[in-house]
Amino acid sequence: MLKSLNAAALILAATCATGVAAEETEEAEIAYANRDGIVEWEVAGDNLLYVHALTGGWYRVRTMGRCSRLRTAVTLGFATSALGQLDRHSAIIVRGHRCPVVSVVRAEGPPPRKRKP
């Protein structure tokens, strides 16, 4: 019992030290992504996408490696699970190219805006 409490304390301390909340690192799913479950999305990198779900929450979706056409995409497709949810077993379809998803986690909100000098 004491060992498991110590391990939990270490994990909590490491999480606090990195500045990432515990719930932001847990894998999540976006329900109804195969229908109208995704309200909007914003690209934050070659392999990072923020998705606003119909449920009101934001999610960070990371792809496996670089998804070269993501930054210039006007539309996206989502290859979801059999249940219609977007999760780490799904893929993003960008102009005919499939970008496998490796991580879906809850986010505080949309990506921070970069200021132009």
Q: pLDDT for 28-71, tens place per residue?
A: 999 999 888 899 999 999 999 999 999 889 999 999 999 989 99
Per DSSP, helices labelled H in the chain are 2-18
What letter does residue 86 receive in the DSSP assignment? B
pLDDT, residue 24, reads 58
Give pTM, 2 decimals: 0.74
Spatial CB neighbours of 88, under 8 Å, sequence gap ≥ 6: 27, 101, 102, 103, 104
Residue 84 CB burial class (10 angstroms; 0-12, 13-18, ≥19) = middle
- CA dist., res. 18 & res. 114, Å (int): 22
